[in-house]
Amino acid sequence: MAARFYGFSDTELNSMDLETFNEYLEAMPMIRAREMLEEITVSSYPQTKPEYQKKKHKEIHKLAYPSTWSSDKKPLTLEQLAKVIANGR
């Protein structure tokens, strides 16, 4: 799964230190949730009721942008997320 998101080979993943690997692993649900938001917008919205649309969008939005729901912080952009991961925060 990491290879899908970050382009790492199996060899690179096996040689990666645990802390870095875990940082990438923890970021995956957020990235996938953002992808799902896009998929929902394109495919299902035209055919669903507004109440269902809002409910599903809110659920996935919480996964994609957790900081928005837990504080007053703005969500990280992909560039900011990459910097956080690269610098080990």
Which residues touch 21 (CB under 8 Å, ≥6 apart)?
A: 2, 13
| Residues 86, 71: Cα–Cα separation, whole Å | 24
Total domain count, the chain: 1
What does the pLDDT look like over 8-47, one tens digit per residue?
A: 888 888 888 999 888 888 888 888 888 888 787 778 777 8
Q: Which domain holds residue 8?
A: 2-87
Q: What is the torsional sign of CA 77, 40, 23, 67?
A: positive
Which residues touch 32 (CB under 8 Å, ≥6 apart)?
A: 63
| Percent over 70 (pLDDT), the chain | 81
